[in-house]
Amino acid sequence: MSLLDWFADRRKTAPVVRPLQDAEEGDGLWSKCPECGEVVYRKDLVANASVCGACGHHHRIDSQERLRLLVDPGSFEALDEELTPTDPLAFKDRRAYADRLRDSQLSTGLKDAVVCGLARLEGHPLALGVMDFRFMGGSMGSVVGEKLTRLIETATERRLPVLVVCASGGARMQEGMLSLMQMAKVSGALERHRQEQLLYIPLLTHPTTGGVTASFAMLGDLILAEPKALIGFAGRRVIEQTLREKLPDDFQTAEYLLEHGFVDAIVPRPKLRSTLATLLELHRQPTAVKA
């Protein structure tokens, strides 16, 4: 059988390859990079932390894959898994908020858009929150804010560093002011954590926008970002219409923010674990000496 015949036969039995924004989507053997168009074997893509080997494009990954890449196997201890969002405003636009919540919970297996817990990274203990963009665009509602606040408070009590992986479209409009309140609540918990001279690192992934950017995403002692991640508050079109001027092509990218001092370092995903391990080692809390 020729190579062309093999591919023709494979097309009859395998799903059609399509550009993927999320590495976990699709069931085919191959993935097509949305940035450069390179077609890669899916197992090779996953083995490279879902980063395109041709152009370096970082495919979006879910919270479970993020945990697999970051923490020591078997070390993650989830916190507050039982917290579930409600619909206090009985909000409805084209669809009822309650229906949107139910659909997101069924499709992701999550209660809300963040997974929080205690873990170890190369042996270093830390408190970890991972936002999941699949759940209503990673939007921050009252449960997301409550889980992050409890995580930070636990870290303060146990004198642990905090790492939050940000991936969000911002505050969840379906909860109105209850959502916006989470910005101040999480920020307050981080200030108490800072007063204890404990380390907080936010990792900004694509995208990190809105109320998340305007609060805990930008309050880190060290702010890391993945390459070419979209990071900002208002949308590009809104800013251009307000200022009535054209913005640079790379505006609101991780590289633009690094150049202008809003981000401390851009770390490719395959190097992220080792980089974080080094930072945790450098900021390790000294062991108390007993008298």
Q: Is residue 189 part of a domain?
A: yes
Residues 225 and 175 in one domain: yes
Residues 16 and 127 in one domain: no
Nearest to 102 by CA among 155, 150, 174: 174
- Return the pLDDT at 21: 43
Task: Please provide residue 187's backbone torsions phi and psi, each rounded to the nearest 5 degrees.
Answer: -65, -40
Residues 195 and 245 in one domain: yes
Q: Is residue 290 part of a domain?
A: no
Domain count, the chain: 2
Residues 33 and 161 in one domain: no
Residues 218 and 233 in one domain: yes
- Return the pLDDT at 49: 95
Residues 70 and 91 in one domain: yes
Q: Is residue 249 part of a domain?
A: yes
- The separation between the first and the last C-alpha atoms of the chain, rounded to the nearest angstrom, is 78
CATH number of the domain that residue 238 is part of: 3.90.226.10
* Domain stops at, among 21, 40, 59: 59
Q: What is the mean pLDDT of each run of 10 residues along the chain (291 residues)?
A: 51 38 57 92 93 94 97 98 96 96 97 98 98 98 98 98 97 96 98 98 98 97 98 93 93 97 98 97 68 40
- What DSSP state is assigned to residue 145? H
Cα 62 vs. chain centroid, distance in angstroms? 8
State whether residue 30 is helix, strand or coil. strand
- Return the pLDDT at 289: 40
Sequence-separated (6 or more) residues with CB below 8 Å from residue 155: 126, 127, 161, 162, 193, 198
Q: Is residue 289 part of a domain?
A: no
Longest Cα pair distance anywhere in the chain, in angstroms? 78
Residues 156 and 83 in one domain: yes
Nearest to 223 by CA among 243, 201, 240: 201
- For residue 13, what is the enclosing H or E element? helix 3-13
- Return the pLDDT at 24: 40
* Domain stops at, among 59, 76, 99: 59
Which structural domain range is residue 189 located in? 61-282
Residues 23 and 140 in one domain: no
Residues 239 and 131 in one domain: yes
Residues 54 and 66 in one domain: no
- Return the pLDDT at 99: 97
Contact 49, 65 (CB under 8 A): no
Q: Is residue 287 part of a domain?
A: no
Nearest 10 degrees: Cα torsion 96, 99, 104, 110: 120
Q: Is residue 288 part of a domain?
A: no
The full DSSP string for 212-261 is HHTTGGG--SS-EE-TT-BB-SS-HHHHHHHHTSPPPTTTTBHHHHHHTT
- Return the pLDDT at 284: 85
Return d(Cα 18, Cα 15) in angstroms, integer.
9
Nearest 10 degrees: Cα torsion 8, 13, 16, 22: -130
Residues 8 and 145 in one domain: no
Residues 71 and 54 in one domain: no
Task: Please provide residue 274's backbone torsions phi and psi, each rounded to the nearest 5 degrees.
Answer: -65, -35
Q: Is residue 221 part of a domain?
A: yes
Query: What is the pTM assigned to this prediction?
Result: 0.88
